[in-house]
Structures are given as structure tokens and as C-alpha cells.
Amino acid sequence: MYKSLAYATFLLGISVPSQALTLQKYLSFVSDNHPEILALDATTGQYGADIQYADGAYDAKLDHNSFSRVAGYYDGLQASQKFSKPLEAYNAEIFSEYRISHGDFPVYEQQYATLSGGEASLGVKLSLLKGRDTDKNRTAMASARLKYKMWSEEAKLAQSEFYYSAILAYLDWVESVSYYNKIEQLVEAGVNRQDGIKRRVAEGDIAEIELLEFETRLLERQVTLLSAERKVQANIQKLRYYMHSNASLNDIQNAPSSDATNMTWPIAFKNVMHAEVSSNHPALAAKAYEMQELKQKMRLATVDLLPKLDVEAKLARDIGSGPTSLQDTEAKIGLYFSMPFERSQAKAKKSRTQFEINALEQKTNALQQSIDAKLQERLINLTYAKRLHNMQKKQVVLSRQLFEREQRQFEFGSSDFFMLNNREVDAFQADLKALTARINVFREELAIMKLNAQLDHEFIQHTLL
């Protein structure tokens, strides 16, 4: 199939890649702006925007307020501008204000009156109990940053899952192409042998039924070849998805595959294959960040049980001419106190958060045990896969020796086609089993890397250097 496709491509004037589609070359296509990776990056941007939104609670602001009496006995008008800046410490707020008024005000609005040049003031507000150590805004800021870190770990898991599927598709393709090539060799050997058998039948050396038997077996091989070609085409479609728009169908079909018998992992892959779950495993790290977020909620719930005691200090000075009572510098200190007696909601919130912490601790323990158990299972599978591959290689050697001896006996006339075909099929099946066993070793090693979440985008990029 690949020879005929390459020849047809040459006739059409299409350039044919001369390099094999190695794993590293394949990954260079996969990692180049694939939609799934870009979607993860976009989600990361959303969490970054959440941090900016939470920080916005401490943005400075400018307020303007004014009014004018357009009718009535009094003609007073007033305008004020206030600059304020919230601070994280002590839930504080610093502010400065300038206001000016003109005209007469009724006695119940004398607070608006200023000297002719207006009044300038500055002050500060502080929380002494509830809201002093933390509040909703500070908790929201900490939560946004922890969620960003948590998503970063979850993104590594998603990336590792994506590249695992992509590499698994590559292994399937290599296996199917190698399988196809071996069957193609078996069919070519049968076709080359067909003329000799026809000649021997014509000469009367063997019965005609043996030719019929041969042609039946040859047709079976051709059917198997067609089935193998279908499987190759199906795997090519998988590769096209992961390679995205970076390679056309012709590029994949015409590129020779890496031989499964000579395929090896890149050095970077070998360095991360180990038998222990890292303490920095993204799934466990995400749970750790989630625990920190719950502890922030618990801290806020504890603070909410306290009474509210706020203090405000303000200095004001009028400028210009006017009533004597407004000419001195004013200093004000105000207190605000509030305490609900039962505090049922705050207690319920704290209790619920504690249960959430307890639940997360157990989920984290279960996750740790699950990862450990799955890793040990994969290590056992890998051990048996390697042993099976070694045994299959020995079986290949023995099956080939039996076929070669049977072939010599057939040429000397001391064996029949039935035995020769059986020996050839046995040798072919041994080759296929050894091929599958070798690919299964790669699959188990790949599963271990995926289980340890090593196949993230950064690691793949490092592999390509």
C-alpha cells in the first residue's frame, strides 16, 4: 500500500516526505496549537482574570455629590468630591474630601455649610474586631489565587491525558503499519510461490487439490491484508485529529513509520519513568490548594463570629471667610459597634466548612491510595509484559527455524503444502505476537507516565528540544 501510494504521489507531482514520522516529529505537530491545548490555555486566562477581579475590590475611587435648591425660601447649593482607597490591613480605608457650599440652608441642613473657600478633610476607617484579620474581600483575593494554582495543576492532568491519548494513537498506528507490512510480505511470498506450484501441478508432481488449497490460503491472506489496511487507515484518521492542521492525509500516508522493533522512547521519557508517586503529583497538589482555600473560608467563618467594632478618625479644616463657628480645625472620632446575640448563620457556616475540610481530607487520602494502587498494578502489568515479550522473541526464533526446515523439505519433495503453510503461518503469528508484545510494553510504560501525570505540555516541549 505505502509503495503504491508513494508512486502515485510521485506521478501527481506531490512531494513525499523522506523522513520517518518518529514520535518526536509527531509530537512536534501535536503540540503546535492544538485546539484542546489552546482551550486549556484560555481557561487559565479566565482564572487569571478572576484574580484581577478580586483585586479590584481595593481599587481607589472618586465620588462626586452635589445639589442645588432651585425653588423655595432657602437658596443653598453644595458640591463635594471624595477620594477613597481601601486597604487590606485592618479592613482600613483612607479618604480625603473637599466640599464647598453657598447660600442659606435650613437649620436641619447646617452640616452642609462651609466657609467661602470650602472645607478640606482627611480621615481613616479601621476594623478592630470583625474584619480586622480578614474579610470577604481578602478571602476572595486569596481564593482567586488558590483557584488559579488549583486549575494549573488540573490543567497538567488534562494535558497529560491529552498527550497520553495522542501517543497511544501513535503506538496504534505504528503497530498497525508494522502488522500490515508483515502481512504484505506474507502475501508477496505466497504470490511468488504460486507460479511454482502451478508448474508442479502441470508436471504432475503434486495433485491439483493442493493448488486449490494454496489459492484458498492465499485468498485468506489477502483478506487479512485488506483488513490490516482498513485498520491502518482508521489509525491514520486518529493521527490527523491529533496532528490537527499541521499535516495532510498524504503527509501521513507517505511518511514511513518507525519500525516497531527498533522504536525507543526519547531520553526525556526514560528519565521520568519511576515507581513512586511524586509528592508534587498534580492531582494531590490540586487537593492541597483546595484545602488551603477551605482553611481561608474557615478563617473567615471564625472572624464572622466576632462583634463588629469599627473606628473612624477625621480631620477637617474650612478655608476662607464666614461664620466664626466654622473657622477652627475639627477632629472627629467615631465608633460603630454591632453584635448579633445568637449568630446562628455564622455558626452554621463555620460548622459546614469544617465538614467540608473533613470530607476533603478523606478524599485526598482515598486519592493517594488509589494512585498508589493503580501504579502498583501498572508496574505488575509492565513486568509481565516484558517477560511475555522476551518469551515471544524466543518463539519467533523457533518458529522461523521450523519454517525454514519445512521449506527445505518441501523443496526436496519430502513435505506437502499443507505442512509448509502451517509452518509459515505459525512463524507469521509468532512475529505478530512479538510485535504486539513489544508495543504493549510501550503502552504500559506510557500508562505509568500518564498515571504520574508527567506528560504535561511543558514536558512535551522539553522533549522536543
Q: Has residue 316 got a pLDDT over 90?
A: yes
Share above pLDDT 70 across residues of the chain, in percent, rounded to a whole number: 91
Selected residue with higher pLDDT from 326 and 17:
326
Give the pLDDT confidence score for residue 250 in this predicted structure. Answer: 65
**DSSP, residue by residue, 111-157:** GG---TT-EEEEEEEEESSTTTS--HHHHHHHHHHHHHHHHHHHHHH
Give the pLDDT confidence score for residue 196 in this predicted structure. Answer: 78
Selected residue with higher pLDDT from 198 and 76:
76
Give the pLDDT confidence score for residue 420 in this predicted structure. Answer: 77
Contact (Cβ atoms closer than 8 angstroms) between residue 11 and residue 248: no
Q: Has residue 8 got a pLDDT over 60?
A: no
User: For the purposes of burial, counting CB atoms within 10 Å of the CB of 348, is it exposed (0-12), middle (13-18) or buried (19 or more)?
Assistant: exposed
Map grid coordinates 464572622 to a residue. 304
Give the pLDDT confidence score for residue 273 in this predicted structure. Answer: 74
Return the minimum-mean-pLDDT range out of 9-23, 171-185, 314-328: 9-23
Share above pLDDT 90 across residues of the chain, in percent, rounded to a whole number: 59
- pLDDT (tens digit per residue) in 24-46: 889 999 998 899 999 999 999 99
Selected residue with higher pLDDT from 58 and 323:
58
- pLDDT (tens digit per residue) in 199-240: 877 877 777 787 887 888 889 889 999 999 999 999 999 999
Contact (Cβ atoms closer than 8 angstroms) between residue 115 and residue 326: yes
pLDDT band per the 50, 70, 90 thresholds, residue 4? very low
What is the mean predicted confidence (pLDDT) over 386-409?
91
Contact (Cβ atoms closer than 8 angstroms) between residue 144 and residue 56: no
Give the pLDDT confidence score for residue 198 in this predicted structure. Answer: 82
- pLDDT (tens digit per residue) in 269-314: 887 776 566 678 999 999 999 999 999 999 999 999 999 999 999 9
- pLDDT (tens digit per residue) in 134-189: 999 999 999 999 999 999 999 999 999 999 999 999 999 999 999 999 899 889 88
Q: Has residue 258 got a pLDDT over 90?
A: no
Distance between CA atoms of 44 and 150, rounded to whole angstroms? 10
Compute CA 71 distance to the chain's CA centroid, rounded to the nearest angstrom. Answer: 67
User: What would the grid cell of residue 162 be?
Assistant: 491529552
What is the mean predicted confidence (pLDDT) over 425-437?
90
User: For the purposes of burial, counting CB atoms within 10 Å of the CB of 290, is it exposed (0-12), middle (13-18) or buried (19 or more)?
Assistant: buried
Selected residue with higher pLDDT from 250 and 82:
82
- Other Cβ atoms less than 10 A from the Cβ of 152: the count is 17
Contact (Cβ atoms closer than 8 angstroms) between residue 114 and residue 280: no
Give the pLDDT confidence score for residue 39 in this predicted structure. Answer: 96
pLDDT band per the 50, 70, 90 thresholds, residue 256? low
Q: Please calculate the CA angle 281-286-291 and round it to the nearest 5 degrees.
A: 125
User: What would the grid cell of residue 53 be?
Assistant: 477581579
pLDDT band per the 50, 70, 90 thresholds, residue 10? very low
Give the pLDDT confidence score for residue 174 in this predicted structure. Answer: 92
- pLDDT (tens digit per residue) in 80-132: 999 999 999 999 999 999 999 998 889 888 888 889 899 999 999 999 999 99
Give the pLDDT confidence score for residue 248 in this predicted structure. Answer: 59
Q: Given its phi and psi angles, is residue 57 left (phi above 0), alpha (psi -120 to 50 degrees) or beta?
A: alpha
